[in-house]
Amino acid sequence: MNAAAGGAGEGPGIATPGAAPAAGCPVATFRALAERNGAPDARPDSGRPIWRCPESGVWVVESYALIVDAVNRPAEFSNKYSLSLLDADFPAAEVERIYREGGCLWARTLSANDPPDHRRFRALVERIFSGAKVAAIEPFVRETSRDLLAAWPDGADFEAMAGYAVPLPTRVIARELGVAPEDGPRFNRWSDAAVGTLSLNSTRDSHLEAARAGVEFQAYFGARLDDPRLRPTGSLIDLVARAATDADPEQGLPITRAEQLGLLHTLMIAGHETTAATLGEMLRRLATAPATWDALRASEAVQKRYVEEMLRLAAPAQGLWRVTTREVELGGQVLPKRSVVSLRFAAANREAPRFPDPEAVRLDRPAVPAHLTFGAGIHHCIGAGLARRELLVALQDLLASFHALELAVPESALRYTRSVTTRGLVALPLRARRA
């Protein structure tokens, strides 16, 4: 996320190709848009998997193969987009002034960046966010999960998003970033503000408020980067702080303070947004499919397949953006230079026959092909390993703690965030029966 990366005059802003509905599956919304815009065959299981929205000029890609093709051609499909390009109403000059006066402009590190510079930061984060590091975090994940579940009342209504799905991954990544427990509400506000700017439904005031939250984030974490006493030894923020004095093995350069803050900002978002949204969807499906519980208790292998199905179907990152650097061909279509492309991961995850019976939860579904929830190629989500571990721990603890879950409201009353890029339940009232 680079809230101030694009300046005024960078290019004409564009309108969203259509916001996801408050309820229901947004894949159907995009299919309806395709048909309305003269592309009746533009469905993931058809022969026309790419189409252009005439109102916005955005090219929408729903094909699994074409998405993988695009992300593996970073020289032609650049990740260096900006909110100025995506949102015609983004107040770029005002946002830039807030950052310059109170902090610093975000440096491009992992998100909104391309090779060769992207490789430098990717190599660093892969070293510090390793499998061994995720394994070391797991005991705290399990402790936090069990503490949160212990607060669920037996047989009474409980708000599961605010009481479990959101705080579990948030507390985990906050601890790793050196956030004091009493500062949890501030951390949540910073994260919500950062993710909210990507919805393309933001107002001028919300963009400015997000920039002010970004400045607060920079001040808070700048102090922790400066003072080792404020960060846990071996935590992610501690490892990022040490990288400021370590020469990069490829370029021989330590990372700057702006780059450190940019990495921490990315880790904040990658460290919990996907997990929270997927966990909410998993809770909803557990509450509406009680017959699944016995099958899930069979083995950890079955539980891992269920987690992958939840990730595939929830697809909390519904789609991300690319900008063409030259005239390019994709799926038989010629895209002009500086075309904005929306890669719809959620649609690709439901592509038939690649995923037979795509709307169903299949515990016997093979691991190949892999879903695209975490993206693909050089921008594959750095938090994927932690997200999978947290979801598995949560599922195991839910199965051990409860006999069943039930929705406390009609399923038709559930609402999702309104965003082109992300999707997750706003609230999830549940009723639990303890084991």
Reported as a single tens digit per residue, the pLDDT across 61-83 is 999 999 999 999 999 999 998 88
- In this prediction, residues 390-400 reach a mean pLDDT of 98
Residues near 305 by beta carbon (within 8 Å), at least 6 away in sequence:
363, 364, 365, 367
Q: What is the DSSP string of 193-254?
A: HHHHGGGS---HHHHHHHHHHHHHHHHHHHHHHH-GGGS-TTSHHHHHHHTTTSPPTTT--P
Residues near 338 by beta carbon (within 8 Å), at least 6 away in sequence:
11, 323, 324, 325
Residue 4 confidence class, pLDDT cut points 50, 70, 90:
very low
SS3 label, residue 425: strand
The residue count of the chain comes to 435
Structure tokens at 48: 């026309």
Where helices occur in 80-158 by DSSP H, the ranges are 83-86, 92-102, 117-128, 131-150
Q: Domains of the chain, with CATH numbers?
A: 26-434 (1.10.630.10)
Where helices occur in 289-323 by DSSP H, the ranges are 292-296, 300-314
Choose the weakest-confidence range: 78-92, 175-189, 321-335. 78-92
Q: How far apart are CA 141 and CA 187, in angstroms?
A: 18
**Higher confidence at residue 140 or residue 89?**
140
Radius of gyration of the chain (CA): 21
- In this prediction, residues 173-192 reach a mean pLDDT of 90
Mean pLDDT of the chain: 86
The answer to whether residue 43 scores a pLDDT higher than 60 is: no
- In this prediction, residues 263-281 reach a mean pLDDT of 90
Structure tokens at 279: 């966990």
Note every long-range contact of 222-229, with CB atoms under 8 Å and residues 24 or more positions apart, other chains counting. Answer: 222/103, 222/257, 222/261, 224/178, 225/257, 225/260, 225/261
Residue 326 pLDDT: 98
How many CB atoms neighbour CB 33 within 10 A? 17
**Higher confidence at residue 112 or residue 391?**
391
The answer to whether residue 160 scores a pLDDT higher than 60 is: yes
Taking the model in full, what pTM does it have?
Answer: 0.89
